[in-house]
Structure 1
Amino acid sequence: MADHNGSSYSTDVKALGSDIHVAPLASSSAPGRGQGKIHLSKDFIEQADAELLATMGYKQEFKREFSSIEVFGIAFSIMGVAPSIASTLLYSLPSGGPVSMVWGWLVGTFFIALTGLALGDLASSMPTSGGLYYWTYALSSKKYRKFLCWTVGYANTLSTTSAVASIDWSVAIMILAAVSVGTDGRYVPTDAHTYGVYLAVLLMHAILTSIGTRALARFQTVATVLCAGLAVAICVVLGTTTPSEYRNPASYAFGGWYNETGWSSVGAFMLAFMTPAWTIASYDSCVHISEEASNAARAVPMGIFFSIVSSGILGFGIMVALTFNMGMDLEPIINSDYGQPMATIILNAVGKTGFMPIWVFMIIVNFMMGASMNLASSRQIFAFSRDGALPFSGWVYRINSYTLTPVNSAWWSAAVSAILCLLGLVNAVAVGAVFSLSVIGASIAYTIPIVARLLAPHRFIPGVWYLGDFWSKLVGWVAAAWLVFISIIVCLPSYIPVTGAADMNYACVVTAATFVFSGAWYYCPKYGGRHWFEGPKSNLEVGDVVAVETARDLQDEEDAKKARSQQEELRQTVEVDDFKE
């Protein structure tokens, strides 16, 4: 990745009743000798992070306890490859069977990785918890930036809260599936039972994400190890214990086809993209802890990209292990009473005795996914309420004096998630809309800042992580096209023809309702957001602003000295060359 060279963009921040124009400092170098590796002290990095955040109009309110590996860990643990595939295998298994599971996964992962690279460029340039909506405001034209910023903020909030809801709902389903297996199928969970367990899981996650930042950061390391270990363990167990009657030849594992959706072969294959789209998702979670990450301008884009790649590789291994060891009779697997095709495959492979410890491990990892997601969601909600855009922002935007974390934001996230999964009391198809919502909301929130940056390149100055002018633009346009495409796919019904309300995909309805609400609130006469919403608002005090401007002036002076020094060296080099000639 190319290094940041030159000053960064200039943006307007609202502070103290006036517009203050500040520019982020150029990346600094610690004193050192030669071109070797420079070791920067923790205090130096924290000061640089705080100064960079101040140039975006915000003071440092969190402790920066997240290391680069822990930033990676929050996205990687939220993806939770094995539990996520278990929760969404119901989309790809009936929509093409092995072909969609293996090749659909690879195609989806490729385009998701490009999206991560596009977001990485933006995250390095402007590492703030508001992330997506802040970028939109900074990169859009003055005429539209307030409304676009508002829209992206709501799309991202919808995405993060629905991701919490969908993960925790899958935890509840897994717990009840374990009970069903343990009773040899005598217990069949109802929708009401599932919702009750879901509320209990949600409550525990709200409590967990209310604790201190240091504990939350260390939690990510544990979650990362468990997620990776579980994925590898499943591959090994399926490969070594599956009875011969369930083993498949390579020709079937990579080329077998099964389609019961009613869609054409092409349509069914595209529907299978839902599995990687929901599994390798919420990588913007790294962005939402930017203000708690050390060396955020580098750690956040690295966390985004490498979490996608790691999950893509592990997920491919799981898909291959499944297609080799699930047998060819897929109908009983898809329609199993356990409600989890992957549970049936593992049960067939290892029996009830071997199934239970693996499934308990799966539940633990999935539970940790939900905790990490609620953490990221609470930071997005905190940032958006800091700018006054959410209902009850005055209450939501508070830092707990004991834990120094946004406790109210964590509970706000949990409350909204509880409301979303009331759809689960309708039927399994209806609650599937919550899974789709997390993808749709994220796609909208990702697409707008990416396109805004591409349409106004003069407003964007790279950070320390940058693809280069050509590749950054190409990757950005491809990523935007993918995001629009996958938003359409997840709105389609899983089976056709649709014969009644029970078969509908409710994602369009809930998404439309959300944006009707946000649009109505924005344009409401007298009280609407367009009368008072100013986009990202600075919370800097007068002294903070003066310090930023002073630091900028000192940086400009240092840059000027460096430029003069380089010019002098170049002049002397030319003189020596002329003398040699």
Structure 2
Amino acid sequence: MHVCYGPGNSTVDKEAHVHVALLGGPLGYKQELKRGLSVLSNFAFSFANISVMMGVTTTYNTGLRYGGPVSMTLGWLVVAVFNGCVALSMAEICSAYPTSGGLYYWSAKLAGKEWASLASWVTGWFNVVGQWAAIASVDFSLAQLLQVIILLSTGGANGGGYMASKYTVLAIYAFILILHGIINSLPIEWLSLFGHVGAIWNAAGIFVLTILIPAVAKDRPNIEFVFTHLNTENGMGIHDKAYILAVGLLMSQYSVIGYDTSAHMVEETKNADRSGPIGIITSVLFATVFGWIYLLALTSVVTDIPYLLSPSNDAGGYAIAQALYTAFHRRYGSGVGGIVCLGAVAVAVFLCGIACVTSNSRMAYAFSRDGAMPLSRVWYRVNKHEVPLNVVWLGVAVASFVPGPFNLGKYGVVVGWVGVVWVATVTVLFSLPVAYPVANKETFNYTPVAVGGVLLLSVGAWVLRARFWFQGPITNVDTHC
């Protein structure tokens, strides 16, 4: 069905825009991905990608080291408020511009004609490279967690347990990447199933663990410790309390990211301009609530912070692994129950990795659709199952604003600016040194190098070549009468 619209009538524009989004040509693009996801499936992908079981467990060492319980339990609530503002603004924009390009496409539309191409170019590259980094981070975290599970299952570091070499960990990591690539090569119906499994596993896992862990623990901290204790003995040479608390917030922030997945999946979602925003908001809401409850459960078995962070413990310094192992061992004389809990987390991390690859492939597909990536013709292809297969494996190997059905009305600008300020603040926090003095490669924070490198390369490529040919999002269907 052909739908056309013009700039002369805002009501007609809006209705036509919605119709174009729903009937197969979202905002000037012909429908090439199979629109087979429901609003529930869209939510499931985002919730599985956020995966607070993964985020909280794998970054707990950071929160425990920098500030301890107070930086996590109360810090989580602070981060939740600002993350909520970011999510609401993203949902509002997603409702107006429901395309797989997500942030890349939005920046072009919101920056104005003069800056559209540069804004979309830089945003797109940061988004693609950031998602590649996310895939690497999640899958490598899983490889490290499996290493700890094997270590504890064979007796622990102090009982002759098997400590995998770095090469073995890298081999496990490579195997996980390949497996995630294979799964993401399946039709969208199968991917949708994994998304649902990921959402259910996270919800059910958190429900079980939040009941089981406190019940098993024989030694539990008091309420005052859980909500007010500030750990300043981080062993990293940092003593300023405000600085320590600020760095400690990164644990909470990292644990609730990835909800832009809903935006990247909208071209495969029915009623995209409504389902996409719902997916973003509900995934953040559920992740915030479930994540905080799970965080409290884990902190209920934390009593001796220096021991849990010590590389000489049975888990090799993996704090939560050691805490769970110790809790079950003291109760039953065996740490097997703690290992089983870690196994449940490992499954959640694996499902999160699937969603990460899915989200990245859709973003890179949309970016290639507009010719922004080298060899775009290779990446901008779908197979017979309407899956962007080539770009899936690429990820493995390496203000004219018309509101949509969901909008914040007069509060949209305020909420949006709060989100912008928070993102800027978090960017600074991620770039701060995490140890003093910064004396060697082990204590140096490479985040500024990575961010600066992407910025330098993307802007450099823009100045030298891309500004002469890249025009931002390109329509590939006739949308005008």
Q: Same fold (TM over 0.5)?
A: yes
Summarize the alignment of residues 341-420 of structure 1 with structure 2, pairs less than 5 Å apart: 341-351=319-329, 352-401=335-384, 403-416=385-398
Following the alignment from structure 1 to structure 2, what is the Cα–Cα distance between the partners of residues 10 and 358? 57
Deviation of the 1:9 alpha carbon: 9.8
Residue of 183, 186, 190 corresponding to 2:154? 183
Alignment partner, residue 182 of structure 2: 207
Aligned equivalents of 1:26, 1:344: Cα separation in 2:
57
Q: Normalised by the size of structure 1, how large is the TM-score?
A: 0.76
Question: Is the CA contact (8 Å cut-off) linking 1:385 and 1:396 kept in structure 2?
Answer: yes
* Alignment-mate amino acid for residue 148 of structure 2: A
Partner of 1:538: 475
From 293, 297, 312, the equivalent of 2:269 is 293
| 1:385 Cα deviation from its structure 2 partner | 0.7
Distance of 1:10 and 1:306 partners within structure 2: 33
Give the counterpart of 1:304 among 255, 280, 287. 280
Cα distance in 2, alignment partners of residues 387 and 196 from structure 1: 35
Query: Are 1:8 and 1:125, in contact at CA under 8 Å, matched by a contact in 2?
Result: no
Are 1:66 and 1:294, in contact at CA under 8 Å, matched by a contact in 2?
yes
- Alignment correspondent of 2:332: none
Whether 1:148 and 2:119 are equivalent positions in the alignment is yes
Task: Mark the CA change 1:298 to 1:408 in structure 2 (over 3 Å): closer, same or farther.
Answer: same
Shift of 1:170: 0.7
Task: State the shift of 1:322 in Å.
Answer: 2.3
CA distance in 2, matches of 1:195, 1:8: 53
Match of residue 560 from structure 1: none
CA drift at 1:176: 0.7
Counterpart Cα distance in 2 of 1:285 and 1:113: 16
Is 1:321–2:297 an aligned residue pair?
Answer: yes
CA distance in 2, matches of 1:478, 1:9: 34
Instruction: Tell me what 1:516 maps to.
Output: 456
Larger radius of gyration: 1
- CA-CA distance at 1:305 after TM superposition: 1.1
**Contact 1:91–1:494 (CA<8 Å) still a contact in 2?**
no
1:493 aligns with 2:433: yes
- AA in 1 matched with 2:372: A
Tell me which of 25, 42, 65 is aligned to 2:15. Answer: 25
- Asked whether the equivalents of residues 26 and 99 of structure 2 are also in contact (C-alpha less than 8 Å), the reply is no
Runs of 4+ in 1 over 6 A off after TM superposition: none
The aligned counterpart of 1:279 is: 255
After superposition, the C-alpha distances for 1:498-556 in whole angstroms (9 at most, x for unaligned) are 122221001111222222222222222xxx1111111111222xxxx2xx446xxxxxx
Would you say the 8 A contact 1:91–1:272 is kept in 2?
A: yes
Q: SS of 2:143's equivalent?
A: helix
1:203 corresponds to which letter in structure 2? I
1:100/1:272 contact within 8 Å kept: yes
The equivalent of 1:338 in structure 2 is 316
| 1:67 aligns with one of 38, 59, 62 | 38
**Are residues 473 and 414 of structure 1, via their aligned partners in 2, closer, same or farther at CA, if it must alter by over 3 Å?**
same
8 A contact 2:20–2:27 mirrored in 1: no
> Where does structure 1 lack aligned partners over 5 or more consecutive residues?
1-6, 12-21, 29-46, 417-455, 551-581
Q: Is the 8 A contact 1:9 1:460 kept in 2?
A: no
Gaps of 5+ in 2: 330-334
Instruction: Name the counterpart of 1:567.
Output: none
Whether 1:482 and 2:464 are equivalent positions in the alignment is no
| Alpha-carbon distance in structure 2 between the residues aligned to 1:79 and 1:55 | 26
Maintained 8 Å contact 1:86/1:342: yes
- Of 204-213 and 227-236, more deviation after overlay is shown by 227-236
Partners of 1:24 and 1:55 within 8 A in 2? no
Answer yes or no: is the 8 Å Cα contact 2:14–2:402 preserved in 1: no
2:42 & 2:299 partners in 1: Cα distance?
32
**Aligned pairs (5 A) from 1:462-481:** 462-469=403-410, 471-481=411-421
Q: From 215, 222, 227, give the equivalent of 1:254.
A: 227
Contact 1:124 1:298 in 2 (8 A): yes
- Contact 2:22/2:272, CA 8 A, preserved across alignment: no
Q: Share of identical aligned residues, percent?
A: 28
Q: Give the superposed CA RMSD.
A: 2.0
Deviation of 1:27 after TM superposition, in Å, equals: 8.0
- The reply to whether residue 240 of structure 1 matches residue 215 of structure 2 is yes
- In the alignment, the residues of structure 1 paired with residue 317 and residue 392 of structure 2 have an alpha-carbon distance, to the nearest angstrom, of 30
The verdict on how the C-alpha distance between 1:319 and 1:191 changes in structure 2, with shifts beyond 3 A counting, is: same
Question: Structure 1 residue 127 and structure 2 residue 68: aligned?
Answer: no
